[in-house]
Structure 1
Amino acid sequence: MSDSPNITAISWLSILLLGFVWGGTFLVIELALQTMTPFWIAAARIGFATLLTLVIWSILGRKLWLSSHQAWGSLIIVGIASSALPFMLLSWGLQYVTSGFAGVSMAAVALLVLPLSHFLVAGERMTLRKTLGLTVGFCGVVILIGGNAFTSTGSELETLGRLACLGAAACYAVSSIVMRRLPAVDPIGLAAVPLVFGSLIVIPVAYASEGLPELPDSRTLLILAFLGLIPTAGANFLRVWVIRTAGPVFMSLTNYQVPIWSVLLGALVLSEALPSSLILSLMLILLGVGLTQYGALTRLFNRS
């Protein structure tokens, strides 16, 4: 694997697709919370994803190419920090915070990834331009969400819910760094093995904390299957590829798109009014992306 990020047109299309998919995930989780407890939602989500990923990995010969104990330890960390912990934290936290605060928390992933990458990932230097770009983009997200970002729900557990959402953001940041630092490894195996480790944690925790769940109705089962197959299994394959090729800082730009897609999907699916700040927010986010990825954009357009 090259130390320098390799950002191509497919990389840009990939993070656009990831932003779109994850932009609708909060809405789907909230629908699932109407009939399922939070940890079992996380367990079902990662369970469906693990089964599908293992089937694909088995068909392709179960390649991995990892030999050192240190690399296996890193894979366990990726499994915990990329799926097990954030899935449980978000499912639990969304009971007590606004979806707007959860959106801002996910946007903060980019701000966390940049300094971590500077010290831990070769070729990902923390420059003034990148720092300014990520800050401008984050401001765009906060303006887009508006007052809903920090409006109180009145819940006694709201503070803990907010900490849970921020903890999920920190998990995603750490897992991206650790995944990028892994030695050469089969990408399908890299998507599959952490999900297995994550399942081994989430499912027992769900059982211990919430007991056996009631048999879900067909609507809930479809929601859980969607969460497992699309924003978890499918997106996980794509996330692994982007991090391993284009780097964690580039991947973190997906988190700035998630609130935009969430707002647009809310208007399209739920007939919600578009906020007046949409255009300004979009301009700030695009400016932030341009500043952060100026070199990659220049190379992309020069090739074309």
Structure 2
Amino acid sequence: MSLRDWSWIILLGAIWGCSFIFNAVLIREIGPLWVTSFRVGIGALGCWAVMFALRKPVPRDPKLWLQLGLLGVVAYAIPFALFPLAQADLASGVAAIINALTPMVTAIISHFWIGGEKASPTKFTGVAIGFVGAAILVSPALGEGDSHLWAVLACLGATLCYAISLNITRSFKHIEPTAFAAIALTGAAVIATPIAFFSEGVPVMTRPETWGAALAIGLLSTAFTFQIMYRILPRVGATNFATTTFIAPISALILGVTVLRETVLPIQILGMTIIFLGLLFIDGRIRKVWHRVPA
């Protein structure tokens, strides 16, 4: 991949790492299903605002609306709900490790997907190295709380949703990215909102920081990032794009140090270093350098 594409992936991973902070603020006042509903609902409104501001044409094909709406449910409504639901009975460190499995699951799904990317041994090696780095990065948190089997399976289900949706998304590369994001998020919101209402009742948000977190996770972590995601995904591929889940824990750690004044441990620096090594393998740069070295 080009340096520009890697820059976008790092930026997206960094922003999605901030979502952990936003979720932590939101969950103080509202349930996890409402967190999901606010995220996709506000994200959809943000994307529609961009659509009208840029005067992009709105697709009128009902079949396309149905397809993208259902994709939004698989890609956003389900996984965005599974992680916060699982974390009630799952140690945060374990949840982060399972989330970091996304590139590995994506590489496997893509390899066997019809018309998907055939992963090379070098790319599989990079994914494995990146996962090891993510595990080391969050290892200090592994002792926090209990981990129940259902919660682990829920998080694995979320990574599977991400992997499948990333591969499906490539088949819609002819659709204008802004329209794609707006319709997919609208579909997710249409399903998520009534489920949240009947499951958790009417949400009550009295703190200003709760409203701020809702706007931030909807507009920044969703609407803004999805404008970028749907533009670069067709050219970088599902496996490369999924490496954003390796960047997110680093972002969350740095944010914790700068905002919450947490301490960085030497083992976490080692984890970040290993993650960057894995990204070099996935990108193919390690293989290129290896072949240039004379025997």
- Cα 1:211–1:65 change in 2 (3 A) is closer
Per-residue Cα deviation, 1:193-243 (whole angstroms, up to 9, x for no partner): 100100011001001111112244322111111111111111111121221
Q: How does 1:239-258 map to 2 (within 5 A)?
A: 239-258=229-248
Match of 1:146 among 102, 117, 139: 139
- SS of 1:184's equivalent in the other structure is coil
* Aligned counterpart, 2:292: none
Quick one: which amino acid aligns to residue 40 of structure 1? W
**Residue range with higher mean Cα deviation, 79-88 or 280-289:** 280-289
Q: CA RMSD in A?
A: 2.4
Q: Does 1:238 align with 2:228?
A: yes
> Equivalents in 2 of 1:122, 1:163: separation in Å?
28
**Residue range with higher mean Cα deviation, 56-65 or 19-28:** 56-65
Q: Check conservation: 1:48, 1:225, Cα contact below 8 A.
A: yes
- Cα 1:143–1:119 change in 2 (3 A) is same
* Aligned counterpart, 1:302: none
Q: Check conservation: 1:133, 1:291, Cα contact below 8 A.
A: yes
> Equivalents in 2 of 1:27, 1:54: separation in Å?
25
* Aligned counterpart, 1:3: none
Q: Check conservation: 2:101, 2:131, Cα contact below 8 A.
A: yes
Q: Check conservation: 1:66, 1:185, Cα contact below 8 A.
A: no
Quick one: which amino acid aligns to residue 193 of structure 1? I
> Equivalents in 2 of 1:95, 1:59: separation in Å?
40
* Aligned counterpart, 1:205: 195
Matched residue pairs, number? 289
How big is the shift at 1:95?
Answer: 2.5
* Aligned counterpart, 1:63: 57
Match of 1:79 among 58, 72, 75: 72
**Residue range with higher mean Cα deviation, 79-88 or 123-132:** 123-132
> Equivalents in 2 of 1:237, 1:196: separation in Å?
14
Q: How does 1:96-107 map to 2 (within 5 A)?
A: 96-107=89-100
> Equivalents in 2 of 1:16, 1:240: separation in Å?
15
* Aligned counterpart, 1:8: 2
| Deviating 4+ runs (over 3 angstroms) | 59-62, 64-69, 71-74, 295-299
> Equivalents in 1 of 2:90, 2:159: separation in Å?
15
* Aligned counterpart, 2:126: 133
How big is the shift at 1:152?
Answer: 5.5
Q: Does 1:37 align with 2:31?
A: yes
**Residue range with higher mean Cα deviation, 104-113 or 123-132:** 123-132
How big is the shift at 1:59?
Answer: 3.2
- SS of 1:49's equivalent in the other structure is helix
- SS of 1:273's equivalent in the other structure is coil
Q: TM-score, normalised by structure 1?
A: 0.87
- Cα 1:189–1:296 change in 2 (3 A) is farther
Q: Which runs of 5+ in 1 are unaligned?
A: 1-6, 300-304
Q: Check conservation: 1:16, 1:257, Cα contact below 8 A.
A: yes
How big is the shift at 1:98?
Answer: 2.6
> Equivalents in 1 of 2:67, 2:110: separation in Å?
16
> Equivalents in 2 of 1:215, 1:267: separation in Å?
28
Q: Check conservation: 2:29, 2:205, Cα contact below 8 A.
A: no
Identity of aligned residues (%): 27
How big is the shift at 1:298?
Answer: 6.0
Quick one: which amino acid aligns to residue 18 of structure 1? L
Q: Check conservation: 2:69, 2:185, Cα contact below 8 A.
A: no
How big is the shift at 1:68?
Answer: 9.1
How big is the shift at 1:164?
Answer: 2.3
Quick one: which amino acid aligns to residue 204 of structure 2? E
> Equivalents in 2 of 1:245, 1:65: separation in Å?
23
Q: Which runs of 5+ in 2 are unaligned?
A: 290-295
Q: Check conservation: 1:74, 1:182, Cα contact below 8 A.
A: no
- SS of 2:266's equivalent in the other structure is coil
How big is the shift at 1:123?
Answer: 6.5
How big is the shift at 1:60?
Answer: 3.3
> Equivalents in 2 of 1:121, 1:264: separation in Å?
39
- Cα 1:129–1:67 change in 2 (3 A) is same
> Equivalents in 1 of 2:99, 2:2: separation in Å?
24
Q: How does 1:277-296 map to 2 (within 5 A)?
A: 277-294=267-284
> Equivalents in 1 of 2:82, 2:236: separation in Å?
27
* Aligned counterpart, 1:225: 215
> Equivalents in 2 of 1:233, 1:132: separation in Å?
33
